[in-house]
Structure 1
């Protein structure tokens, strides 16, 4: 595969040759030169790049350029004509929505929102940082390091378990999504006694799709023309080819059912899964509100069934949710296809978030703790988190041989244990039991990150792979490359730009033409 999960070749060759030569010419030349070493050679034409090639304008590319030009026109008009006043007509409000001056002020305005739930910003920021490092590690595995074996050895050390268990960090986002969706739905049920299904689905669409669509169009039709390099075809062009063929699945939010091999921008599987769980939550919350006993039976039954599916998938397909030492690329893809990207298998942690929202709203578990009890609570909380992450560390050591049972137990129980950690820590934060950690949890940095979190999630992989594709030299691996400052600054700047030019304007468009309140879509 290679365009998402690295092939992990020990040697990477980039060969420059005249554009009049074909891939077959290079294959024949290399075969002759290496025949004495008993090495067979295959050169794929799809891996060849011609510099300064003139690409034809397809319908998709023309449509993409038109889309981005329309956005630039609206941003220009909105910014130039912004007089600081609220628009009287919907068209004036629309232009104000695309005003860069207004949106930049909003994105850097860190005043506390009245409906903000404590702890959400900190959870989102910390887990996003952990995933950022894990994703960067995956991108680095494509890079031609001089000391590639040392790079492999480092990630086979016991401490690397914190990265190999990265699935728990994605579980955090499913918990937060379940919690926030249920929290907002409970508020609506208390006000109206019912749920506006159409309005909720429309608001969710405006929240997720515009920036998602913009990224797909850019990476499919614009980015391939921006640059070139030895691995450009593998990590950029291949994504473009897959997206041209399968983008329609992403439009319907069903792309997570077709495996990484056929998925446009594979890191967006979480969007499809989250959307499906959100839709399923709407009737479930209505049942829970009107028929409490039946609702709880459904919640527990679905969570238990999801746990059983995870366990059985491991046995049926010989896969693992933990990236054990020596795992093959095919097993990583199988783990994604048969469990990791399926909402039926990931529903447990999402429903734990729903239950926690119910507990918070009912206030039945609000009680006072002494200082000693608070310390014991936090000790138990961090103990559960550490055990969840570290327990399978033996699987990450060199020489490990795959075993069904430990892999199945980790897949089945890790979302439950991590959900327990999230619930305990979230309850403590919401009840002001953070002590000296209050300033950290309520940090302005987390509040700011919350505003650009969706853009950071979407843009990080294209930036990582852009740098992989253009790299023309071998470098020396050091752990400091995980936090490559120019790259991290690029992600920050691009995320801010995407937020103020796409995400915030379209959120405002929903409020202008469809919304009945000024409730922020960010919490939905």
Structure 2
């Protein structure tokens, strides 16, 4: 028995030993096989990489190069050789750029690579021969088989050629055959050389395999590492101006706070008070109830919608990865609520005309029209001039990025060239292709409306029949001219904010012929003027006629419905067949119809009672915000453009993110507008009051019982004063401003 147990023990041990040896052999076999496969894969990848690089070098050698291009080619050959050895500087430079376009079929136009890596190599200071520059190459893809191509019945069929899909472009969508490619090239390379290098890279991509011929152009100056923009005289001039205003305001604030309340009022003390930050800030918060408090909310909320619209448009024109979805959204319900949002500007025209009429009807004797026009001009121009100065002098230094120089050039170059046209209030008629600040077209329009209205009212006061006749002719012309111009030039019924327009508004024919011209936009202003007359008549103390709550609520409801219908019908022209007569009729009536809707809301809330709407629009916090609306309008597009074009990579077009960004732009824009008000606008208004005060005293006897009203230089022209009051700005006289 004992021997049997020993025998079994020996057998089991031997069997376990054999199994262990077998398992170890299999494990070693598997490990050796995996190692061999990994080596083969690595060798295969390395071989493919070498084949790719050898192919690039072969294509380089078979190009026609000039003697001037030799330094660039030598550096590129050296980079490719070192790239095969995986040398750091070569891999660093090659790694900065896309080897082929990605997401082109989904509307990703911008292939920007890594801008910062290209220009910020750690050794660029010590090794000048290893410095690179970043260039933008604009590419248009053209197919080479156009003669053999057959018409495509189903452009979105998954089994068609991708070339047909790239070439297919429905109206008002972005082209898929256009690419902006960021190239990191040696500093010695010339634009022509970079174009050839880009073509070689493109031919090595999946697009080159399809037989596409690229037209490549490098037209802009490339950005070089460690290259700093030099400060010029304009830069130092703007900094000096800001410094003077800040120091002057701080000194005057200190002196004004030390002044005794019983001290005699002198011209010197009045000047000091004009620059006092404390006085100007407190005046910003004062509210005077005058029956049209709803203007506060309408003005600021309209400005918020404009900021949101511009955020969507500029964001969509920048580098986004899902442009195809954005183009589809343009024909959705969201698109219908955005494409024709230029009507919000007509809201400002209506408010401006409304307040102008209220001021006029309160005159027993019309002041000198020249003085009224001068006051309006001064009130408009101060913040406007500072923003133009900022764009011309400071704006280029505030950002960087692949597309930054290109985006800045659209504003800075035009402002340096045509700033004087803006200051003369003729930029919407003269050299409009190079208008300084695209959104500023509104300001000369509003000023020109005011001038014409003052002249018509002045004529009416002296020759009533002639004044009524001229007003009738102007009113009819404001309705007829948009229709005639639209019909003659076969323009779109409305200026829709499509991709083509937001990419380059200055290139739009509709923009120059109809959108920014005063003679095509006057109707909404006149609707406001006539609405103001209705309000002034029925708001008189001796008149007890008011609108009941029932009719006020119904009137507000139908006014909102009218505005929505006008907006959404206009957006349908994006995909409808063009009809000249229909387009002309809509072009003539859509803006005054929108203005009638806004006017109905104002009258129903002011002469009647719409509980929720009236209380909301008259909410006190709107008071200071509405007074900052003009400054917000002037600066919001600068902030949006900066945020969009300092980006390094395409962004996803998410509407919730856009809403958050628009909110941030509104907040920061109001902060900047507050600074403009405290240090520039308010002091200028106060000084204007001081200068005109002696002349105003001459009419004190005749006007001492006359109610005075002043309008703060702000977007909707709500009567606010340079001191913040609604009805007591310049003593003994009347002031107007309808910036918006």
- Normalization by structure 2: what TM-score? 0.64
Which residues of structure 2 form unaligned runs of 5+? 1-171, 698-707, 713-718, 720-735
Deviates further, 177-186 or 341-350: 177-186
Distance in 2 separating the partners of 1:16 and 1:101: 53
What CA deviation, in whole Å up to 9, does each residue of 1:254-297 have, x standing for no partner? 01113642101111111111111111111211223344443333
Pairs aligned (count): 511
The alignment status of 1:429 with 2:605, answered yes or no, reads yes
Q: Bigger radius of gyration, 1 or 2?
A: 2
Distance in 2 separating the partners of 1:114 and 1:372: 24
| Other-structure match for 2:343 | 168
Shift of 1:245: 1.0
Kindly tell me: are residues 92 and 147 of structure 1, through their superposed partners in 2, closer, same or farther at Cα, counting changes over 3 Å?
A: same
Distance in 1 separating the partners of 2:465 and 2:348: 27
Are 2:553 and 2:604, in contact at CA under 8 Å, matched by a contact in 1? no
Are 1:239 and 1:265, in contact at CA under 8 Å, matched by a contact in 2? yes
What CA deviation, in whole Å up to 9, does each residue of 1:26-68 have, x standing for no partner? 323212322434211111125x444654555555445433322
Q: What's the secondary structure of 2:215's corresponding residue?
A: coil
The alignment status of 1:511 with 2:689, answered yes or no, reads yes
Shift of 1:137: 1.5
| Other-structure match for 1:322 | 494
Shift of 1:174: 0.8
The one of 380, 386, 397 equivalent to 2:558 is 380
The one of 203, 216, 224 equivalent to 2:375 is 203
| Other-structure match for 1:439 | 615
The alignment status of 1:95 with 2:269, answered yes or no, reads no
The one of 478, 481, 488 equivalent to 1:309 is 481
Distance in 2 separating the partners of 1:67 and 1:7: 44
| Other-structure match for 2:386 | 214
Distance in 1 separating the partners of 2:417 and 2:498: 32
Deviates further, 450-459 or 376-385: 376-385
Shift of 1:117: 3.1
Shift of 1:212: 0.5
Are 1:452 and 1:495, in contact at CA under 8 Å, matched by a contact in 2? yes
Shift of 1:327: 7.4
- Normalization by structure 1: what TM-score? 0.89
| Other-structure match for 1:392 | 570
Distance in 1 separating the partners of 2:317 and 2:225: 22
Are 1:49 and 1:228, in contact at CA under 8 Å, matched by a contact in 2? no
Structure with the higher strand share, 1 or 2: 2
Kindly tell me: are residues 136 and 360 of structure 1, through their superposed partners in 2, closer, same or farther at Cα, counting changes over 3 Å?
A: same
Deviates further, 385-394 or 464-473: 385-394
The alignment status of 1:231 with 2:403, answered yes or no, reads yes
Deviates further, 211-220 or 225-234: 225-234
The alignment status of 1:29 with 2:197, answered yes or no, reads yes
The alignment status of 1:415 with 2:591, answered yes or no, reads yes
Distance in 2 separating the partners of 1:324 and 1:194: 41
Shift of 1:229: 1.3
| Other-structure match for 1:132 | 307
| Other-structure match for 1:120 | 295
The alignment status of 1:348 with 2:523, answered yes or no, reads yes
Distance in 2 separating the partners of 1:200 and 1:324: 36
Deviates further, 318-327 or 438-447: 318-327
Deviates further, 78-87 or 507-516: 78-87
- Where do residues 53-68 of structure 1 align in structure 2 (5 Å cutoff)? 53-55=227-229, 58-68=232-242
Distance in 1 separating the partners of 2:538 and 2:615: 25
What CA deviation, in whole Å up to 9, does each residue of 1:64-119 have, x standing for no partner? 33322322322332344341647844344333333333333333x2x421557332
Distance in 2 separating the partners of 1:160 and 1:247: 34
| Other-structure match for 1:240 | 412
Are 1:284 and 1:295, in contact at CA under 8 Å, matched by a contact in 2? yes
Are 1:27 and 1:42, in contact at CA under 8 Å, matched by a contact in 2? yes
The one of 224, 231, 255 equivalent to 2:427 is 255
Kindly tell me: are residues 43 and 459 of structure 1, through their superposed partners in 2, closer, same or farther at Cα, counting changes over 3 Å?
A: same
Shift of 1:218: 0.5
Distance in 2 separating the partners of 1:159 and 1:7: 16
Shift of 1:235: 1.9
What CA deviation, in whole Å up to 9, does each residue of 1:194-225 have, x standing for no partner? 22223212221221111101000101111112
Kindly tell me: are residues 100 and 133 of structure 1, through their superposed partners in 2, closer, same or farther at Cα, counting changes over 3 Å?
A: same
The alignment status of 1:490 with 2:665, answered yes or no, reads no
Kindly tell me: are residues 154 and 65 of structure 1, through their superposed partners in 2, closer, same or farther at Cα, counting changes over 3 Å?
A: same
What CA deviation, in whole Å up to 9, does each residue of 1:367-393 have, x standing for no partner? 344444333323332232222112234
The root-mean-square deviation of aligned C-alpha atoms, in Å, is 2.8
Shift of 1:464: 0.7
| Other-structure match for 2:580 | 404
| Other-structure match for 1:149 | 324
The alignment status of 1:471 with 2:661, answered yes or no, reads no
Are 2:369 and 2:458, in contact at CA under 8 Å, matched by a contact in 1? no
Distance in 2 separating the partners of 1:335 and 1:122: 31
Kindly tell me: are residues 212 and 367 of structure 1, through their superposed partners in 2, closer, same or farther at Cα, counting changes over 3 Å?
A: same
Distance in 1 separating the partners of 2:188 and 2:618: 61
Deviates further, 252-261 or 114-123: 114-123
- The answer to which structure, 1 or 2, has the higher relative contact order (CA under 8 A, 6+ apart) is 1
Q: What's the secondary structure of 1:261's corresponding residue?
A: helix
| Other-structure match for 2:535 | 360
Q: What's the secondary structure of 2:521's corresponding residue?
A: helix
